[in-house]
Every structure is written in structure tokens, then in C-alpha cells.
Amino acid sequence: MNTHALSRAVRSLYFRRQLAKSTPTLEAAIREELASRRLPTALIAGFLVRVDGSELVIERAPPVHSGQLRLPGVR
């Protein structure tokens, strides 16, 4: 690994560690919002979000054609 690549790797690792520190706070905020709305599952910005026991699960939602109508009772 040359000096430039090593420098880039160190910067990348530093910033990823900084981002990882904020993960628990973000997860707690999402959990609280789902609980306050009494939603076991929510579709948010193209992601399906749900709390499974103690784990917050976030999955990409399947794409829906923009012209498709929503079914009654489905969020």
C-alpha cells in the first residue's frame, strides 16, 4: 500500500468510526417514533422498518410503480 492509499484508508476509518458512534442514538430515535405512532412496521423513504425483539430491522422495500393505486387499509 502506498502512502496516499494508507492516508485515504486512515481517513476513511476515522470517519466511519465517528459515524458508528451515532448509530445507537439514531436507532433509539427511530424506535421511539415507531412506538409513539404505535406502528410495528413502517414504510419510510423506500425502506421497510420494524422492531424485531431488541433489534431494529431496516430492509429495502420492493419498488412500487408510481401509477399503482394503494390498496385500502395498507400503509
Phi, psi of 46, deg, nearest 5: 85, 10
Domain extent listing, the chain: 3-60
To the question of pTM greater than 0.95 for the whole model, the response is: no
CA distance 51 to 45: 17
Question: What is the tens place of the pLDDT at every residue in 13-50?
Answer: 999 999 999 999 999 999 999 999 999 999 998 899 99
